[in-house]
Structures are given as C-alpha cells and as structure tokens.
Structure 1
Amino acid sequence: MVRKLLVSLAALVATLGLMVPSATHASALGEEWLGCWVTPGEDSYWAPECWGGATGGYVNVEFSVRGETSPSTYDWAVPALYQSRIYAGCGPTQSFCKVRVQASSHQITVSVTLTQDGATATHTAAAYVDRWCGWWC
C-alpha cells in the first residue's frame, strides 16, 4: 500500500514538474548583424564592409543593426579617434550610430554588443573612406 502510494506520488510530482513553466526567457539573438553605409559612397546597400569618399570635406558613415527581431540594448564601441565625430545615435537604446569623418584614406571599424534577456552578441562592421579626386591628382 505504501509502495503504491509512493509510486503514485512520484508520478504526480513528475507530471507537475513537466507543467511548471521555465523561468528563463527565450532570446531572439542570432539573426542580427551590423551593417554600414558611407555617403557619398560606392554601395547602395547595407553591408558588413562599406566604401565611400568625396573629393574633399566630410563623409557620413552610418552603422546600423540589421535583421533584428526583438529590441535590444546596445553597447557601441567607436574608436577614440572618432568619438568626437559622432553626430547621431550610438546610445544604449539606439540601433544605429552615425559618424562624420574627413574624406581622407582611413578605415573605421565599429562594433556593437547587443543584449536581450541576459544573452549577448557582438557584431563588427568596417567602413573604408577615401578622398576622391579627378585628373588633377
């Protein structure tokens, strides 16, 4: 009798254990990537590597999280040399980061760490900027 009661109790506990919802949250991280775009530029689409330039002055480089299915918090890593050139975004609630740089030959590599429900993912993109010139160069 006691044995049957213990077996029944064990079965009940096992059944209830399967019904208890999990305390962890599913993260949607995994499909997103970091793209960039230089204006004026050669590319007319977002890509992990982008190119652009101008005959002089400045160009705008935008980095943007693409393919995101759920909101994240963002931790942007912009090289120190370009920190003062940030003109929009780059905050913990912003999925984009815009930097204005001089049109001269250099590379800007930016990364962002996304966080959703405690899960993190880091993505990087690189922009290649050149100074373009015509026949006089």
Structure 2
Amino acid sequence: MDLGIDTRLTLLVTGLIFLSALLLGVWKYHGIRTSPSGVAHVYVDIAHRAALMYSFAGVLLAVFTELSAWPTAVNLIADLIVLAFFVGAIASYVLHGARRDTTNQFAGAVPAALRLSMYGLIAGEVGGFLVLFTGFLAGQF
C-alpha cells in the first residue's frame, strides 16, 4: 500500500501522541497509587485522556487525508495545524499537572493570551479538519 507523505507524517505524529498517552497513563497510575485520596491530579488525568482521544482523532485525520482530493501540501498543512493544536493542548495539561497549580485553568479572570489561544485552537482544529473533510467530499462525489 502506498500512502501519501501527508498521511504517513500524520500517522507518525499520531503514533507519537499515542505513545505519550501510554506514558501519561504511567504518570496517572503513579498519582493514583501515591495520592491519599486515590486519584491523580486532575490535569494529569486530563492530559492522559486527551492524548488518548487525540491519538484516535489523528487516525481519523489520516483517513480523510488519504481520501482527500486536495494537493498533498494542502492536506499536510491542514493536518499539521490540527495536530499542533492537539500537541499544544496536551502539553498545557502536562504543565498544569506537573505544577499542580490549578484544577481549572479557566477559573477566575482568564488572561487575554489564553483566550486568544483558545480562539486559535477553535479556528485551527475546525478549519484544518474542514479542509480535509471538503477534500474527502470533493474526491468522493
């Protein structure tokens, strides 16, 4: 089977995200075992679950990429934008889990930089997927 470079790179990043999910699961387990309350820090748990879900979402991106009618460069840029936001979200959860500095990063006054990054995340993830999805539709119909 000859997969396009866009699909192969998407699967590579997705595999790394899945590997990070497995390693975050070890950290979560350690938190559960050593915590008096029997639970890991909320952001360790969120990081683990997000990495698992994003890894499977990445496989879905790869399928739409492979079936897209758009040029390889367009698909790859769309994939990398979505995957960059996935990785960025996981990294922010890991940071909060390591710092144990909050149980809700949106509680209280939300800094402008965080609000702007959330708008970027929305535009990047939804927009990137729409590029791939419309490429799939164009290729199928």
Tell me the TM-score range normalised by the shorter chain.
Answer: under 0.3
Which has the larger Rg?
1
Q: Which has the higher strand share?
A: 1
Q: Which has the higher helix share?
A: 2
- Structure number with the bigger relative contact order (C-alpha 8 A, sep ≥ 6) is 2
